[in-house]
Structure 1
Amino acid sequence: MSPRPELTSKTIKIFAAFVQNLRDRDSLVRRLLRGLGWVTATPLMLLHRLPAVFAAGCLLLLAYSVVGAGGLVLLLVLPTVGWVVWRLAHPESAERVAAQVRGRWRYRRIYRKHWPAVAAGCGLTVAGSFGRQVAPELIGVTAHPAADAVRVRLLAGQSPADYADRADALAHAFGVTQVRVRSDEPGTVTLSFSTGDPLTDPIPQMRLDARAVDFEALPVGFTEDGDLYRLRLLYRHVLTAGMTDSGKGSALWSTVRALAPAIPSGVVQLWGVDPKGGMELAIGHALFSRLAADDEPGDMVRLVADAADLVRERSKRLRGHTRKHTPTTDEPFVVLVIDELAYLTDYQDDTKLKHQVNKALKIVLSQGRAAAVSVLAFVQDPRKSVVDARGLFPTKIALRLDTASEVEMVLGKDAWERGAHAEAIPDSQPGTGYVLVKGDPTPVRLRFTWVTDDDIRAMAQQFPAAQPAPRRHGFTVVTDKDGESGAVA
């Protein structure tokens, strides 16, 4: 039976009107279909692009249907409270886990997605079978507060230098300010993508933990990745070089402040030498068990010589029993703080005293580490002729210096080429410098905490030495190893 002509005509007219409405972007039909498409496509898009968000939404709906609104709020609040408690109780482990989680997210969303094209554009791929370009494998990403550390497995024939040569191109490709390259182990390289600069502003003081002080991991500042920098002082010597107003005081007092909670018990003693008449160290004199702060070099030389005698005495007693001395209140960890080393070793006019102090200092530097006697020295002029024993300092820190050649005097050959541009540190960032971390030839930029004069006075009042160097009528008393003393102007 054939359809009636009038129905066919009506159907054609309705279809034509429907098509006409589809052509009109503002028609009701077009808007309804567009809305229906979004309603249908949105869950699918979330499932494809953000599976974690989609899954979380489904879980929230399921939780709401099972436990209701009150239970849903509780489920959301408990993890937050738990995270806050964790951060307060164990901040380092919490941050380590958070860095791993952030790293996985950034690996999936940023680096895995763009790495093949970036590697090819920077010339880091090799030709594979059938003419296909093979990119280096991304092992993983750790997200630090101000940098992403991306570990890459080297392809055959590649070296870390290949990546260092393309660091600028990699930085531009990923839209970051800087890319630093270091090699942690054979066959891999770590690319540090800087996402910010946490060293621009002064670093506030960190909370002191009076319960325990780790002499091999003293918290003194932060690195350019935003990580806490811990200075190893026990069984080490540290030389910090920097021109005037470079922030040597920040490096000195940040280290003393990290040691301070252990000073009253006597397990650590500070012996201070300040050729500038006490301008730097005398403000915290109560922290020091011995303090020679005067323009008269004889007393300062005597203090360094006493440190050498202590090293020889301890070494003799340790021989055949142990390779390292463990500090105690009876046999403390002695830190010899020398504010301006060049005055003792080169600038003073008395040739005899100069010879004596250089000889004593080399004994402390060469033998003192095992005897738990460490030198914390500061100098403006790092030349070998001025600091003859600079090679005996395992840890060297370069604050702002005058030239690139001075950087290499402090940190060694190729340090400047590897990024230690200490001569370019701005005047507005005192306490900023570069240090070499053991096992890594790439210098690390760091900034020490800012310690004011009032902070030093408060610290000296809170953590005085068990037998501090006394002050009498404006004179600093220098006590020798036999307990005798003499007033020094």
Structure 2
Amino acid sequence: MTISQRRRLRRAEVELAPRIGLIRPTRNGFRVSIRLHDGQAPEDYTRVLDRLAHAWRVHSVRVLSWRPGRVTLQATSRDPLTQVRIPVCSDGLLRVQVGLLETGAPFVVDFRLVPHWLIAGATQSGKSTLLNAIIAGLAPQPVALVGFDLKGGVELTPYADRLSALATTRAECAALLADLVAILGDRMRACRDRRVRTIWQLPEQVRPTPIVVVVDEVAELYLMADKSEKEEIAKTSTALLRVAQLGRAFGVYLIVAGQRVGSDLGPGVTALRAQLTGRVCHRVNDPETATMTLGDLDPAALAAACQIPPELPGVAIVSGGDGRWYRARSAYISEEQAEQITKAYAQMRPAWADLKATPAAPVNPVEPGHPVIEQPAQAA
């Protein structure tokens, strides 16, 4: 038998004790690098994370990273999401620090990295609190905020001083979406004339203002009372999908939120979901909403979303730019606090007529770390 044959026939041992490397302490626990035995893979450790947490007497253990032959685990000694005291702040242009991840790292919504977000959550799950934090963090930034509020405007009207446009009926939503599609067309032509692919490659003096579109209760856009609404719903769905498909390159970003998001609302919902890379799933009342939000990402994320307790509002399963999922909790920002912030920065609101003109106002950088509001202690 040759040497190469003996190597191919080597026995693969997968049920061996881990070879633990140097243990590095962190703020909420420790981090350890483990050398894999022959035949082992990171999935072997993913399956036994709960057992490792019990063996090490910590709150949780998760796979942090891996490379050939090694896997890095992070153990958390206590749950950092029990109380979230981190302040909501602007973390750069189109970046908002809105809370904490279970690893103790900041929970950041970065539209330059992940342009579109789907946020699902039942009543009292913390969905509105997360929207408040995002709006409060974007208020001091040189961006335009546009609202679609199919609850008659009760959710987003308090922030009207900072919103460049607000639609509260399906007819208004259709008209506003038509304007957004026209804006995308103008920006597309501006980029084509200068032979660039995105607005971020344009000179600052002609770069249009970024637009963040907040859609609250997306199911209302698709619900049909009778067949007479079918054509209007189809137009609205097509326009919203077009904004999602073209928005990233031309500075239009989406936040789509709802209590109920399911494929039964229509084929347009599934097509829209495919464009929303960022996913946030709070506690939901039906498993299909959790499946619609997280089911195409990771079965483990779906299982974790179904275990969120009602006594921890704001806790959610988050999937973002690195392609992995985390437990996270948004900082508590009340409606009154968010309203005060939007009124304080009302002068930052671009006029809707100016946004429809090309080119729009130039974009100026934002000082990172500028606090929006200091976060008080959050009770469980």
TM-score class normalised by the smaller sequence: 0.7 to 0.9
Shift of 1:249: 0.8
Aligned to 1:435: 318
Q: Give the Cα–Cα distance (whole angstroms) in 1 for the partners of residues 350 and 85 of structure 2.
A: 27
Cα offset, 1:331, TM superposition: 1.2
Q: Quick one: structure 1 residues 239 and 141, their matched pair in 2 at CA, closer, same or farther if it must change by over 3 Å? A: farther
Structure 1 position 229 matched with structure 2 position 121: no
**What residue in structure 2 maps to residue 75 of structure 1?**
none
CA RMSD of aligned residues (A): 2.7
Counterpart for residue 292 of structure 2: 409
Partner of 1:124: 16
Aligned equivalents of 1:312, 1:300: Cα separation in 2: 18
More helix by share: 1
- Aligned pair partner of 1:371 in 222, 227, 250: 250
Q: Which residue of 2 aligns with 1:281?
A: 156
Against the structure 1 CA distance between its residues 420 and 253, is the aligned structure 2 distance closer, same or farther, given a 3 Å change threshold? farther
The Cα of 1:186 is off from its aligned counterpart by: 3.6
1:357-384: per-residue Cα shift (whole Å, max 9, x none)? Answer: 1111111111110101001110122212
Are 1:321 and 2:200 an aligned pair?
no
Give the distance between the partners of 1:348 and 1:184, measured in 2 at CA.
Answer: 51
Measure how far apart 1:136 and its partner are: 2.5
- Aligned mate of 1:155, from 13, 37, 41: 37
Paired position in structure 1 for 2:144 = 269
Q: For the Cα contact (< 8 Å) 1:184–1:440, is it kept in 2?
A: no
Query: SS where residue 144 of structure 2 aligns?
Result: strand
SS of match in other structure, 2:321: coil
Change (3 A) 1:277 1:403: closer
Query: Structure 2 CA distance, aligned partners of 1:419 and 1:170?
Result: 21
* Distance across 1 between alignment mates of 2:297 and 2:88: 36
CA contact (8 A) 1:243 1:401 kept: yes
CA distance in 2, matches of 1:241, 1:143: 35
Q: Structure 1: which 5+ residue stretches go unaligned?
A: 1-121, 126-134, 470-477, 484-489
The residue correspondences of 1:24-39 to structure 2 (distance < 5 A) are: none
The 2-side partners of 1:323 and 1:400 are apart by 39
**Cα distance in 2 for residues equivalent to 1:424 and 1:168:** 15
Shift of 1:260: 1.5
Aligned partners of 1:428 and 1:195: how far apart in 2? 21
Residues 439 and 213 from structure 1, CA distance in 2 versus in 1: closer, same or farther, beyond 3 angstroms? closer
Q: TM-score, normalised by structure 1?
A: 0.62
Which one has the bigger strand percentage?
Answer: 2
Q: Deviations over 1:77-125 (max 9, x none)?
A: xxxxxxxxxxxxxxxxxxxxxxxxxxxxxxxxxxxxxxxxxxxxx9433
Q: 1 or 2 for the larger relative contact order (CA 8 Å, sep ≥6)? A: 2
2:183 aligned with 1:300, yes or no?
no
Which structure has the larger Rg over C-alpha atoms?
Answer: 1
Distance in 1 (alpha carbons) for counterparts of 2:215 and 2:121: 14
Residue 206 (str. 1) matches residue 83 (str. 2) = no
Tell me the residue number matched to 2:11.
none
> Retained in 2: the 8 A contact 1:151–1:189?
yes
SS for the counterpart of 1:286 is coil
Aligned to 1:421, what secondary structure does the other structure show?
A: helix
User: Separation in 1 of the partners of 2:333 and 2:121?
Assistant: 17
| Cα 1:175–1:366 shift into 2, 3 Å | same
**8 Å contact from structure 1 (residues 420, 434) kept in 2:** no
* Range 366-375 or range 154-163, more displaced: 154-163
| Distance of 2:289 and 2:60 partners within structure 1 | 23
Distance in 2 between the 1:384 and 1:280 partners? Answer: 25
Quick check: 1:344 aligned with 2:221?
yes
CA–CA separation in structure 1 for the residues paired with 2:178 and 2:199: 20
Which amino acid letter does the alignment assign opposite residue 322 of structure 1? V
Partners in 1 of 2:186 and 2:24 — Cα distance? 47
Tell me, in whole angstroms, the C-alpha distance in 1 between the residues paired with 2:36 and 2:55.
Answer: 19
Q: How far apart are 1:422 and its partner, in Å?
A: 1.5
